[in-house]
Amino acid sequence: MIFLQKGLLALSILFITSSCTELSERTLIAGVGIDQKEDGTIRLTLALLGSQKQPGSQKLQGANQTTMYTVEGQTIFDAGRKFIQNIGNQLLWPYVKIVVIGPSISHKDVIPMLDFLNRNNEIQPNPYILLSQVSAEEIINLKTDLPILSTVMIEQQIKNQGLLSRAPRVQLYQFNEMMFSHGGTGFASLIKKVTHNKQPVPMVEGMAVLKKGKWVGELDSEKTRGVLWVRGDVEGGILVVQADSEGGDQQVKISLEIMECTKAKIKPLLQEDELSVTLDIHSRMAVGEVLGHFTMNKANVDLINDLAAKEINKEIMAAMKVAQKEWQTDIFGIKQVVERKYPEYWKKHKEEWESIFAELPIQADVEVSIRKLGLVESFP
C-alpha cells in the first residue's frame, strides 16, 4: 500500500510538473480579433493572459500580466505560428472566450475564416462570435479604467443578455450551423465602440445579419428582440408600455419585466401549394414600475396585457419588414420548420426560398400574461 501511494504521488508530481512546463512554454489567449488587409494578409489581434509584456505588445489597463499583441500572416494558422517566431511561445487556444470579426472579412465572406476555428482541435466550440463595424483590432485593443479586461467585459455583456434580450448569444458551433446551412444565412452579436465618460468602451448591442456568409445589414436592439421573440430566445428584459393615467390627462409609463423564457411556435400552413405562417408567442411578465397614477385593478391589468402584446407584435413586424422586404433573408428559422413539416414542398422550392420568404404572409398572435405586481399582489 505504501509503495502504491508513493507511486501515485510520483505520477501526480510528474503530471503537475509537465503541465506547468507546458503552460510556461505557451501563451493563453482570452480573445481573438480577425481582420484582413487589402493584399489578403490576415491580421490577428490577440488578448493574451499570463504573459509578460513583449516587444510589439501593449499592456492593457486594469489587468495585470495581460497584453494585446498583433501578428500578421497569409492565413490565420500562418499568423498564429509567426507568434512563435516573434515571441518564442506557442499560443494556447482552449481558453478563447470571444472571436471578433472585422468588416474587412464580414463584408466579403466569413465562411473561409471559420475553417481554422473548426479544424484546430484546441479551439472549443463555445467562444462567442461577434461582428464589428470597426476593425476587430480596435475592439480587442480597447482600454478601460475598470479593473476588468475588455474581452472579459464583452463576454459578460453577452452572457448577461438573458437580462436584456437586446443582442443574440451566438457561439461558434451555432454560427457554424447557420453559415453552413442552405443559403448561409445567419447572424451574430454586434459589437460597437462607444464613448462613455469620454472614454471609448466596447458595447454589445443589436444583431449583424449575414447572407451567403456576407454582411447584409444590422438590426437595432428593438428589432433584434423582434427576431428573438420569434425564435423563442427572449429570456428576460424590460418592456415599457404607455397607458392613460387615472385622470386621462397624461401618459403613464409601465415597466414590465419578462419573467422567463418566452414560448414561441412557428406554424406554417400549406394550402393548394400556397404557404402562410402564423407565429404563436406567449410571454409571462411582472409589473416592475409604474411611472404615474394608475390603479392595478383587474381591468387595468387586462389592459396592460393587451398593450404589451401589441408592443411585442410591433417589434416582431418591424424586424420582419426589414428581413422580408429589404434583405429577403430568413433569420427567424421559418425555413427549418417548413422543411420539417412539408419536406416535399421544401425540396421543390428550396432554391427559390428567398423570393418566397419575401412575399410570405406572416401573422403574429401574441399573448401576454401579467403574473406579478411586485410586492403588492400576485395573480393566479
Q: Mean pLDDT over residues 214-232, rounded?
A: 97
Cβ-contact 252, 291 below 8 angstroms: yes
pLDDT score of 17 more than 50: no
pLDDT at site 260: 80
Q: What is the pLDDT of residue 210?
A: 97
| C-alpha to C-alpha distance for 260 and 285, rounded to whole angstroms | 8
Average pLDDT over residues 154-179: 94
CA angle 193, 101, 182 (to 5 degrees): 130
**Per-residue pLDDT band at 50 (split at 50, 70, 90):** low
Q: What is the mean pLDDT of residues 201-210?
A: 95
The per-residue pLDDT for 204 is: 96
Contacts of 64 (CB under 8 A, 6+ apart): none
pLDDT of residue 88 exceeding 80, the answer is no
93 confidence band (pLDDT: 50, 70, 90): very high
The string of pLDDT tens digits covering residues 297-342 is 999 999 999 999 999 999 999 999 999 999 999 999 999 999 999 9
Task: Give the closest residue to 337 by CA, choosing from 263, 234, 231.
Answer: 231
- 97-118 confidence digits (pLDDT tens): 999 999 999 999 999 999 999 9
Range in 114-118, 167-171, 372-376 with the lowest mean pLDDT: 372-376
Band of residue 22 on the pLDDT scale cut at 50, 70, 90: low
Range with the poorest average pLDDT among 1-10, 244-253, 335-344: 1-10
Instruction: Calculate Rg over the CA atoms of the chain.
Output: 25
> Is the model more confident about 141 or about 280?
280
Residue 144 has pLDDT above 80, yes or no: no
Distance CA 329, CA 347 (A): 18
- Sorting pLDDT into bands at 50, 70 and 90, what band is 191? very high
Q: Model confidence at 182, in pLDDT bands (50, 70, 90)?
A: confident
Q: Is the Cβ–Cβ distance between 102 and 33 less than 8 Å?
A: yes
> From CA 46, how far away is CA 34, in angstroms rounded?
9
